[in-house]
């Protein structure tokens, strides 16, 4: 025996204010509603006559919804401001494709609120930024077990987030990781309860997986799917590579690490680190002398 599908109840006209074309389509014939319906019909006719459809791609609309969720807005608040029914909002997010121009305008006009602190929002956001922040902490030498302890979660939770196959995560989780990353940024694991061996092994595993370290990121880049950090020297020009190495050395020198410790951590020659540190401290560029091969070539040219 099969059960008939439950029909969705129509939205009553009273749901919408007078002056809304949707109220007119539900039977209200007052002057404001009639004028709104006439204006909408004229606009659609104009778009068709000028070769423009009444629908637009949903990409920007979906991206804006993600940003609103990431800023802490609930789906109920988004629907209320955009004047959408629950099925309509979820249909846009899940199916993509196109949406009516009027619908897109209402959603895109919702301002993104300022993030004021941790949230328990249960909606979902892309997991990319969460993964990248945890991977970066690994690359800096923070083992997953230590991250679990500091987050007060079950063992293996951060490793699970890093390996997660899905594309989304609860906003509350993403927000917790975002604030957590901020608290650990700039701290040296060996000085905060992580043994030198564990830190070294964690950095080595992260390097083998090509996870970028903190110096390669700006905060807004973590959540940007179009940004990929340059992980090899081949991806950078000479000046870009030099600037990046200076930034890494300056960052570690600020924690009073010795030149030898910085060189070991970054995989650079101690003399190179010493020269860059001197440049940073004195503000004077070091004098670069040509190597033996260069001198021989100059002599041959003469």
Q: How many CB atoms lie within 10 A of CB 125?
A: 25
* Residue 38 forms part of a structural domain: yes
Closest to 252 measured CA to CA, from 284, 231, 216, 277: 277
Q: Based on the structure, what is the number of domains in the chain? A: 3
In the numeric block, which tokens belong to residue 118? 């941790």
Question: 192 and 102 in one domain?
Answer: no
* Residue 1 forms part of a structural domain: no
Question: 164 and 83 in one domain?
Answer: no
Give me the tens of pLDDT residue by residue for the chain, a chain 302 residues long: 455 555 666 778 888 889 988 899 888 999 999 999 999 888 878 877 777 667 888 888 988 888 888 777 888 889 999 988 878 888 888 887 888 888 999 999 999 887 665 555 567 778 999 999 999 999 999 999 999 999 988 888 999 999 988 888 888 888 889 989 999 988 999 999 999 999 989 998 888 888 988 888 888 889 888 888 765 555 445 555 667 777 778 878 877 888 888 887 777 778 888 888 888 888 766 554 444 433 333 334 33
Domain, as residue range, for 283 = 232-290
Out of 108, 127, 156, a domain closes at 108
Question: 132 and 211 in one domain?
Answer: yes
Question: 169 and 92 in one domain?
Answer: no
* Residue 7 forms part of a structural domain: no
Question: 210 and 125 in one domain?
Answer: yes
Question: 141 and 87 in one domain?
Answer: no
Out of 108, 134, 153, a domain closes at 108
Question: 131 and 91 in one domain?
Answer: no
Which residues, in sequence order, are bridge partners of residue 126? Answer: 168
User: Which DSSP symbol is given to 54?
Assistant: S
* Residue 301 forms part of a structural domain: no
The DSSP secondary structure of 157-215, one letter per residue, reads: HHHHHHH--SSEEEHHHHHHHHHHHHHHTT--GGGTT--HHHHHHHHHHHHHTT---GG
Question: 270 and 179 in one domain?
Answer: no
Q: How many CB atoms lie within 10 A of CB 160?
A: 13
- Going along the chain, which residue ranges are E strands? 55-57, 98-100, 124-126, 168-170
Specify the pairing of strand 124-126 against strand 168-170. antiparallel
Q: How many CB atoms lie within 10 A of CB 273?
A: 25
Question: 38 and 85 in one domain?
Answer: yes
Question: 100 and 27 in one domain?
Answer: yes
CA angle 113-123-130, nearest 5°?
A: 85
CA distance 24 to 41: 12
């Amino acid at each position: 025996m099969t059960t008939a599908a439950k029909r969705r109840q129509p939205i009553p006209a009273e749901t919408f204010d007078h002056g809304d074309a949707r109220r007119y389509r539900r039977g209200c014939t007052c002057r404001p509603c009639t004028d709104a319906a006439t204006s909408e019909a004229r606009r659609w006719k104009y778009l068709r006559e000028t070769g423009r459809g009444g629908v637009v791609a949903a990409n920007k609309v979906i991206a804006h919804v993600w940003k609103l969720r990431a800023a802490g807005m609930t789906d109920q608040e988004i629907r209320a401001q955009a004047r959408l029914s629950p099925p309509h909002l979820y249909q846009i997010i899940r199916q993509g494709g196109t949406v009516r121009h009027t619908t897109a305008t209402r959603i895109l006009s919702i301002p993104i609120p300022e993030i004021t602190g941790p949230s328990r929002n249960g909606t979902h956001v892309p997991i990319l930024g969460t993964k990248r922040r945890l991977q970066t902490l690994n690359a800096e030498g923070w083992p997953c077990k230590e991250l679990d302890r500091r987050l007060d979660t079950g063992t293996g939770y951060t490793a699970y987030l890093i390996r997660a196959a899905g594309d989304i995560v609860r906003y509350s989780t993403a927000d917790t990781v975002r604030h957590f990353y901020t608290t650990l940024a700039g701290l040296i694991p060996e000085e905060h309860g992580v043994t030198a061996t564990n830190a070294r092994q964690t950095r080595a595993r992260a390097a083998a997986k090509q996870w970028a370290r903190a110096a390669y990121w700006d905060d807004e880049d973590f959540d940007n799917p179009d940004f990929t950090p340059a992980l090899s020297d081949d991806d950078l020009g000479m000046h870009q590579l030099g600037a990046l190495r200076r930034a890494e050395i300056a960052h570690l020198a600020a924690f009073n690490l010795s030149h030898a410790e910085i060189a070991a951590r970054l995989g650079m020659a101690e003399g190179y680190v010493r020269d860059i540190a001197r440049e940073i401290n004195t503000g004077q560029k070091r004098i670069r002398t040509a190597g033996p091969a260069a001198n021989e070539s100059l002599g041959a040219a003469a």
